Amino acid sequence: MAVTVFLTSLLSGIFGMAGGLILLWVLLFLYPVGTAIAIHGVIQMVSNGSRAWFSRAYVDYKILGILCLGVCTSAALLFFIAYTPNLIVVLIGVGLMPILVWLPVKRLQLDASRPLHAFLGGLLSGALTISVGVAGPTVDIFFIRTQMDRRKIIATKASIQTLSHATKIVFYWDAASSLPVQDWMSLLVAVPVAVLGARAGTGILQKMTDANFRAWTRWIVTGVGAVYLTQGVLELI
């Protein structure tokens, strides 16, 4: 668990989302869906929270506030309909998500610096984070057209993802609270390791160019998504 959390937090620190996808995939092998998503939320909240703290000078708080409003709205709607996760839905949903990074975003004209677009981004982010566990690529398409550099993108995304994961923990708290003591001990060990991974990843990010950052993110997320989609289709069959 510690090694997995460190490596996935390292990836998240560099690319903003790839690590969270891999960590959730591992947890789905170990726990029921709701419990896996809740544990993922705890670890990712710490990882994203520490990454947001390390990059706090670059956070765009105006955009963050509107994104938060969208996340809270989607959480309230899912709570109202009493949403319950399903393994096949989670696997296929996450597997299809990387399609978003290949969309012709320039034609979509999405821009997180525009209030309505930021609210829509938060709404989709909250809905996907709670329903399938992650929403990284969804948030990305709202930042590609902004004038923010990679550091502001990572800092602002980390901040909104921290809130999204916190919301996810509350939503699935009943599932997480039934964990045996040894699992909670493992989680306590994993939390500081997530901070170390995020710190190391942030250092590597500072040395990357914007072009390399975008290219590597696209291909890594696509590869991870292919694994999810394949497993989801096999489960369905």
Going from N- to C-terminal start, the domains of the chain cover 2-236
Question: Could you read off the pLDDT of 178-196 as tens digits, one per residue?
Answer: 777 778 787 888 778 877 8
Mean pLDDT taken over the chain: 82
Q: Specify the higher pLDDT residue, 28 or 149.
A: 28
Asked if 130 contacts 78 with a C-beta cutoff of 8 angstroms, the reply is yes
Tokens standing for residue 34: 């709701």
Tokens standing for residue 186: 């493992």
pLDDT at position 230 over 80: yes
Percent of the chain with pLDDT over 70: 89
> What is the pLDDT averaged over residues 138-145?
76
Confidence (pLDDT) at 76: 94
Instruction: Identify the DSSP state of 100.
Output: G
Asked if 128 contacts 138 with a C-beta cutoff of 8 angstroms, the reply is yes
CA dihedral 96, 35, 78, 156 (to 10 degrees): -70
For helices 33-54 and 150-171, the axis angle rounded to 10 degrees is 140
List, as one string, the DSSP characters of 102-114: GS-HHHHT--TTS
CA dihedral 170, 171, 174, 176 (to 10 degrees): -70
Give the global pTM: 0.79
Q: Specify the higher pLDDT residue, 44 or 145.
A: 44
Q: Specify the higher pLDDT residue, 156 or 216.
A: 156
Q: Specify the higher pLDDT residue, 204 or 121.
A: 121
pLDDT band at 24 (very low <50, low <70, confident <90, very high): confident
pLDDT at position 214 over 70: no
Asked if 235 contacts 46 with a C-beta cutoff of 8 angstroms, the reply is no
pLDDT band at 122 (very low <50, low <70, confident <90, very high): very high
Confidence (pLDDT) at 71: 93
pLDDT at position 175 over 80: no
pLDDT at position 125 over 70: yes
Residue 107: CB partners within 8 Å, gap ≥ 6? none
Burial class (CB in 10 A: 0-12, 13-18, 19+), 192: middle
Question: What's the distance, CA 4 to chain centroid?
Answer: 16
Question: Could you read off the pLDDT of 55-105 as tens digits, one per residue?
Answer: 888 888 999 999 999 999 999 999 999 888 889 989 998 888 877 767 665
pLDDT band at 134 (very low <50, low <70, confident <90, very high): confident
